Structure 1
């Protein structure tokens, strides 16, 4: 073989090695998160929610690239995302939600009363007699308008005719559908709202009229109703390794998780007595 042929052969071999090395270099693993593209303060397609921020934090900590499967959190959300294998992680899952395997909770929040500060209502209890004469807004869940715990609690007390329900789904063509109840509060269409804390805390910082918030008391309304819930990350029930990896990441970055929740105004509830 002549010198030129030998050089060409060597260069060809080097090219094969370089190309092969490029094609076999392992890409970072993906952290595939199921999320709603229009559900602030939790998540949106622009990555502006606190669950987006948490997902980014977890992906960095795990050395993974973040991928989303977007789906509106309505009936069939779990079936069409996590259970279908389209994604692997749900954030903001209530502890005790049986279809998924969860981490330990990374926050615990509660339903709150919300009112305009210029009304100076200072309502803190479901047993406050003023609730019988005020226009009260409550959240409803599901296409069939399933009542939330505060709605059931008010009904138990005979507070019904002056209560207005707001679906957390609302008009999905508009931004942030769950916030309609707070828009109504600002507009003076209702006097007080009973709202899931993270939603109220976020928009209280951003709406044009200042809002006051107070946790719903009592913290539970036996039998069967509670107003505070511990929230965790969830995976498929057989995905123990991923759950454990997420838990380790949450433990290592606990201070950062708290900082994110604080930045979004998420009210935290104390752990119940054991």
Structure 2
């Protein structure tokens, strides 16, 4: 609730496997109530949340939804709502008396997100630095290079961070708070996309560097038509967690549906990885194990995108 780690936003549970589903053939539900006969692959999504989802179905979560629907032999149907506070309540858990739920799955949530039943993770990404050219930073190729810059150089930079994100903790840890330029995680205007806003401000010189959730950072680089932005991955460290696992989410109690989605994740890992690669999503295979900050940070920064 993809969103970038920032991301707009955004942002993240047990992995119980109750039944095996033969997805190449008929899938046998645990009960009619748990896994009813499905006529469509019904997705809850934000219609303007690139690179995750958009109204044209061109986000990477849209592409993965289309892949899963094809494997199940179902059409994709979507129910849209801006991904802000209350997104799950107004989509996945929204039900009028005598009516059906409008959708059945959220394609991107933190793996420990507590407002729904998360599946097993299907990718892990990390926050990144998005760096503008011509700022004396052309030699920066890693986080270590950046932090090794002369103190006066670092102090003179304008570093964008989204409120309540790991970027704020990172600035504090490295005595860069005075260089921070705050941006709102949840813009009240649902048409204002964080990646596009940051791209404009980097191009105009309003900021020099941005700390962003990896998928949104890569999108920001693609959106910058007239400026050669670069992405530098950030690593988790004690007190600052940058890398997070992302899963899909279904309603509580729908364990057979969760199992079916997890089987799709397992059987289509290569296709999923290829889709993520096409969108430049920074992928991490081995997480850094450290005493880190609360996962609540990424809920605000990556899910409430």
Q: Distance in 2 between matches of 1:179 and 1:139?
A: 14
Give the corresponding residue for 1:133.
156
Tell me how many residue pairs correspond in the alignment. 239
Q: 1:192 aligns with which of 193, 209, 218?
A: 209
Greater Rg, structure 1 or structure 2? 1
**Aligned match for 1:215, one of 217, 222, 233:** 233
* Aligned match for 1:115, one of 116, 119, 131: 131
Q: Greater share of helix residues, 1 or 2?
A: 1
- Is contact 1:170–1:180 with CA below 8 Å preserved after alignment? no
1:124 corresponding residue in structure 2: 143
Aligned counterparts of 1:124 and 1:45: Cα–Cα separation in 2: 35
- Cα distance in 1 for partners of 2:205, 2:285 equals 32
Q: Report the alpha carbon displacement of residue 220 of structure 1 after superposing the two structures with TM.
A: 2.8
Aligned CA RMSD, in angstroms, stands at 2.2
Cα–Cα, structure 1 residues 173 and 98, in superposed 2: closer, same or farther, change >3 Å? Answer: closer
Instruction: List gaps (5 residues or longer) in structure 2.
Output: 1-36, 95-100, 290-305
Contact 2:154 2:176 in 1 (8 A): yes
Match of 2:294 in 1: none
Alignment of 1:1-274 (within 5 A): 29-84=39-94, 85-119=101-135, 120=138, 122=140, 124-125=143-144, 127-128=147-148, 129=151, 130-140=153-163, 147-170=164-187, 172=189, 174=191, 176-208=193-225, 209-217=227-235, 219-222=236-239, 225-272=240-287
Distance 1:131 1:29, change over 3 A: farther
Q: Provide the rounded CA distance (Å) in 2 between the counterparts of 1:131 and 1:121.
A: 14
Between 125-134 and 188-197, the greater mean CA deviation after superposition: 125-134
The C-alpha deviation readout for 1:198-228, integer Å capped at 9, x for no partner, is 01112313422111111113x1332xx3110
Q: Secondary structure at the match of 2:143?
A: coil
Question: Structure 1: where are the runs of 5+ without partners?
Answer: 1-26, 141-146
- For residues 149 and 273 of structure 1, do their structure 2 counterparts lie closer, same or farther at Cα, with a shift above 3 Å needed? closer
**2:41–2:75 contact (8 Å) kept in structure 1:** yes
Q: Comparing 95-104 with 260-269, which one deviates more in the overlay?
A: 95-104
Distance in 2 between the 1:97 and 1:214 partners? 27
Contact preservation (8 Å) 1:110, 1:227: yes
Q: Conserved in 1, the CA contact under 8 Å of 2:196 and 2:223?
A: no
Deviations along 1:27-57, one digit per CA (max 9) or x if unpaired, are: 9622111100111001011111111111111
- Tell whether the 8 Å contact from 2:129 to 2:233 is kept in structure 1 after alignment: yes
Question: What is the rounded CA distance, in whole Å, between the counterparts of 1:30 and 1:71 in structure 2?
Answer: 19
TM-score when normalising by structure 1: 0.80
Residue 79 of structure 1 aligns to a residue in which SS? coil
What does the per-residue CA deviation read over 1:221-244, in whole Å, with 9 as the maximum and x for residues that have no partner? 32xx31100111111121111111
Displacement, 1:251? Answer: 1.8
Give the superposition deviation at 1:178: 4.3
Contact 2:44 2:78 survives alignment (8 Å)? yes
Contact (CA 8 Å) 2:117, 2:251: kept in 1 or not? yes
- What is the distance in 1 between the residues matched to 2:165 and 2:288? 24
